[in-house]
Amino acid sequence: MNNFNDNLLLRAENIKTYFPIYKGFFIKKKTGYTRAVDGVSLSIRSGETIGLVGESGCGKSTFARSILRLSPITSGKVWFQGVNLCDMHDNEIRKIRRYFQIVFQDPYSSLNPRMTVGSIIAEPLKEHSIVKRSELQGEVFRLLDIVGLSSQMLNKFPHEFSGGQRQRIAIARALALRPKLLVADEPVSALDVSIQAQILNLISTLQKQMGLSLLFISHNLAVVRHICSKVAVMYAGKVVEYGKTSDIFDHPQHPYTRTLIKSIPVPDPGYKNYKFNNVEK
């Protein structure tokens, strides 16, 4: 692609994802659209960690699925390393998709319950011919090890694991293809609080070790502030504020951003007029 910054990994421009609304009992008529994503633009550079925050239903997950071509885009363009994903056919997308992977919110529903852990992790390796068949088992062992799981778990099924372990399996599967961009869609919201920190630390460590770019989707602002260098705030399908994490949290400009920050729980109930980074509670 001409005039494309080599350090720029992904660029989404004016993405719109609308879903039709139908009414009628016997004869369905289209009466309008739900504007899940309404003109969102975002750029992700190599090695960068961007947080995408907002309340439930604001369009965060739909935007992520749209830029990865997992959901249809009504209009807009997405470039990945200079290649326009919107102009690619399904077979072409399938080949390039190994370079951008997603970790879903619910690890149980994202794993095939009829497949063993070894088969789940080995499947993308075989599909994209990442390693030789003779090296397949060794690569699966390596991936289990880097996410903190034992090779003895190879022949177990997803229902035999805890929620945190299943999410580790999902991360191992995503990293099997050696992606350049990892999208983490609420990766810890379905986990116990005691396990959330472990998974977040794992994602952060692996990102640094592998040089990944990370789009981290969450409504937990404390987590986003801890691991993200930039933050985009979504409201009603639009990005209402974007900037460095410190600027967003210390000097929020949009009323919705200020409301989000004010909603962060204060651990000490004795402070009624507690201030969080210059934003009054």
pLDDT at 3: 44
Question: Is the per-residue pLDDT at 280 higher than 80?
Answer: no
Q: How far apart are the C-alpha atoms of 181 and 80, rounded to whole Å?
A: 10
Reported as a single tens digit per residue, the pLDDT across 95-121 is 898 999 999 988 888 899 999 999 999
Q: How far apart are CA 163 and CA 188, in angstroms?
A: 9
For 208-218, how does the pLDDT look when each residue is reduced to its tens digit (9 = 90+)?
Answer: 999 999 999 99
Task: State the pLDDT at residue 270.
Answer: 67
| Lowest-confidence segment of 48-52, 103-107, 229-233 by average pLDDT | 103-107
pTM, 2 dp: 0.88
Average pLDDT over residues 64-68: 94
Q: Which residues of 67-99 are buried (b: 16+ CB within 10 A; e: fewer)?
A: bbbebebbebebbbbeeebeebeeeeeeeebbb
- Tell me the average pLDDT of the chain: 89
Give the pLDDT band (50/70/90) at residue 274: very low
| CATH fold group of domain 8-280 | Rossmann fold (3.40.50)
Mention every residue, 6+ apart, whose C-beta is less than 8 A from residue 70: 102
Q: Which residues contact 113 (CB under 8 A, 6 or more apart)?
A: 157, 158, 159
Q: Where are the alpha helices (DSSP H) in 193-269?
A: 193-210, 221-227, 245-250, 255-262
User: Domain residues of the chain, as ranges?
Assistant: 8-280
Share of the chain above pLDDT 70, in %: 92
The confidence band for 1, taking pLDDT boundaries of 50, 70 and 90, is: very low
- Read off the pLDDT band of 194 (50, 70, 90): confident
Higher pLDDT, 263 or 39: 39
Average the pLDDT over 126-154 and give the result: 92
